Chains A and B, each alone.
Chain A
Amino acid sequence: MLTETINKLKILAGAAKYDVSCASSGSNRPNTGKGLGNAAPWGICHSFTEDGRCISLLKLMLTNYCIYDCAYCANRKSNDIRRTTFTVIEVVELTIAFYRRNYIEGLFLSSGVIVNPDYTMERMVQVAKDLRIKHNYHGYIHLKSIPGASDELQQKAGLYADRLSVNIEIATEPNLKMLAPDKNYMSIMNPMTTIKNKIIENKEDRRKFRSAPRFSPAGQSTQLIVGATPDSDKQILSLAGNLYTNQNLKRVYYSGFIPVNSYDKRLPALAEPPLRRENRLYQADWLFRFYHFSIEEIVNDNHPDLDLEIDPKLSYALRNPWLFPIDINKASYETLLRVPGIGVKSAKLIVVSRQYNKLTTENLKKIGVVLKRAKYFITCNELKMPTVNEISPEYVRKALLSDNVQAKNNNKSKLYKQLSLFP
């Protein structure tokens, strides 16, 4: 392993970096006996890139050669770039060496398609198998299934991997056809369904026989590119909601489109990647998964796109002012979650604390409620303050927006704040 490996690593890590699904959470693989590693159910970030992304996994492509020509991809066959291929041993050794030094939680392996989908997938499965069997490795493994690979290989992959994913990339079928002519919806959805059914089947088996091997215990995930096509947020989020509900997906990742092939006229010319929209989509996704919102409440025919200026929860509250104010000392947990400025943690603390005493705004502040936002939407055990109904949604919107601007000018609000999920 020498200069050659270093060069391969540079190329194949660089090629994999646009895949944002870095989370390593959701698997609980104990270290049985005296092997190497375990998968912590909460996932651990070991470092952070300069753009603030969590580095948890060694994210590599097995090869960046590809027989396909997807418009949005830097590795498409018509691009004239440096290409190379890792051997199975190289990937295995890198993973083990990095893992032993506590650099990473595990491996995320994707690949360009070489020869045919089965050929490619087989080598990826070999990496996972060697790690588990030859090296007694219990750390995290995420494999990106190759669309079109056989059921048998998907099955094998799921036996060694903690998570499998198939990237959909483009939310609507006609646009996928246009940008990725070699792929079709079926070749993506079929493996997803296969994996889903295997996971369900496996759960049954494990209920009956506790020794049955696990199948993709951390479930499956996918990625959608945002801003490469004119698809609306409603189309994107409806698909996501559908995937969570019907395909039991664990995560849907949204990736702001980065124009890597600016020569391709099928793609829009963007001055910069739509990071704000990407962030709003993640917020909406959270509302759906953790805040008991339906997709229809977040985006619908009247509001097909998310408001870029304000977060989707505030936007919902301002569109539905008649639902407020709510009484902090009486409202249900689900209702509390709908208040801008109250997150999951503070909602939980409110519910337990109000059993002891009626809560005041002072208490709320200490619990972590962002009163600056919440005050327009709540009443508590105190004198009434003017709420969104008395002073109008437009006013609240302006007030909160100018707060943001001021904070930014004071340089106090770090960008992190804008990009953080909630409050």
Chain B
Amino acid sequence: MNLFIYDQSFEGLLSAIHDALETGIVPDKIVSTRLYQDDLFATKFDIATDLEKSEKLWDMVRIKSSKQNCERIYTAFLSELPEIELVIYNYIKLIINMPYNTEADFSNDYVIKINAIYRKVSREAQRILMFVRFQKTVDDIFYASHDPQYNVLPLAVKHFKNRFADQKWVIFDTRRRFGYYYDLHDVREITISNKKISFETGKIDNDIMHVSEKLFQNLWQNYYNAINIRERKNLKVHMQFLPKRFWKYLPEKDLIKNRQIENSIVTVE
């Protein structure tokens, strides 16, 4: 069994695929150092990430197919699915070996597979745009916790930078413990170490919360409840569109908190 080990970066994976294609050694498994467990019976190949190699391969994929196809592959990589490396290896091999562009051949299983994963990851990325909820801090930073199934935060940055160009914001991936901070000029990758944010509830602490924040959350909750049409209630559809795993960071789903605020509302501001 041929086991390729790479450094979990996308360039690392491309380097591994490059080596496999060049040497003709067929990997049975490609695994990142993060998930690697020693396997006594495997022939191991430690792949050094090589930007020249990865770029060369990437250019070739683009020439043989299209820019969109490259985007598709990178997006699929962000799924972090256990077998994703091999899926990408097989797909790139197909693209490169065929005399014509095969990216739209939906009678091919590799094409179907990569597209299915691409769709799932894109949907998860879309959900960031939908379900991120900012909370305003005393320093006028708008903070949001998010817990995506796949590693899709990088795909969402551009959207938020365009839309919220005139406010500072942070979006933090509580599962992977990193986030992005926009300071009105640039977006930077950050980690958060202080204890002012609960990754469980996604909430920022009261003492760093802007005085108006609870009021607006409360207004939003009231809005959410007011527009419900009881005659049309349909929880199955509701759950389909708004899966339960997203509820934990949505103020409109925070019924318990809702009640607490209702009681304390007079003291706000």
Contacts and interface: CB of A to CB of B under 8 A. Distances in A.
Contacts of B165: 31, 33-36
Contacts of A415: 234, 236-237
Contact of A50 (B108, B129, B220, B233): B233
Nearest to B102: A356
Interface stretch (B13-21, B37-45, B221-229): B221-229
Contacts of B216: 97-98, 101
A239 interface: no
Interface stretch (A53-61, A151-159, A228-236, A316-324): A53-61
- Which one of B142, B163, B227 has the greatest number of beta carbons of chain A within 10 Å? B227
A50 B228 contact: yes
Interface string A1-35: 11101100111011011100000000000110111
Interface residues of A, number: 62
Central interface residue in B215, B232, B250, B252, by most chain A CB within 10 Å? B232
Nearest to B103: A352
A55 B166 contact: no
B135 A101 contact: yes
Given A3-B266, A102-B133, A363-B107, A49 B220 contact: no
B75 interface: no
B215 A1 contact: yes
B218 A6 contact: yes
A55 B108 CA distance: 38
Contact of A51 (B218, B223, B233, B252): B233
A77 B228 CA distance: 23
Interface in A58-99: 58-59, 94, 97-98
Contact of A52 (B130, B142, B215, B240): B240
A54 B132 CA distance: 15
A17 B237 contact: no
Contacts of B232: 51, 53, 258, 273, 275
A279 to B, nearest CB: 11
A191 interface: no
A103 interface: yes
Given A415-B234, A415-B236, A349 B106 contact: yes
A94 B219 CA distance: 9
Contacts of A367: 106, 112
Interface residues of B, number: 57
Nearest to B113: A366
Interface in B215-269: 215-216, 218-220, 222-229, 231-238, 240-242, 250, 252, 265-266, 269
Contacts of A47: 130-131, 224, 242, 250, 252
A136 B220 contact: no
Interface string B89-111: 00000000000001011111100
A263 interface: no
The 9 A-B pairs with the shortest beta carbon distances in the complex, nearest first, are: A52-B237, A51-B232, A353-B106, A13-B226, A356-B105, A17-B227, A352-B104, A48-B242, A48-B241
21 contacts: A6-B219, A9-B222, A9-B223, A13-B227, A14-B226, A17-B226, A34-B165, A35-B166, A36-B167, A45-B130, A45-B241, A49-B224, A49-B229, A50-B238, A52-B238, A52-B240, A58-B223, A98-B216, A101-B142, A101-B216, A415-B234
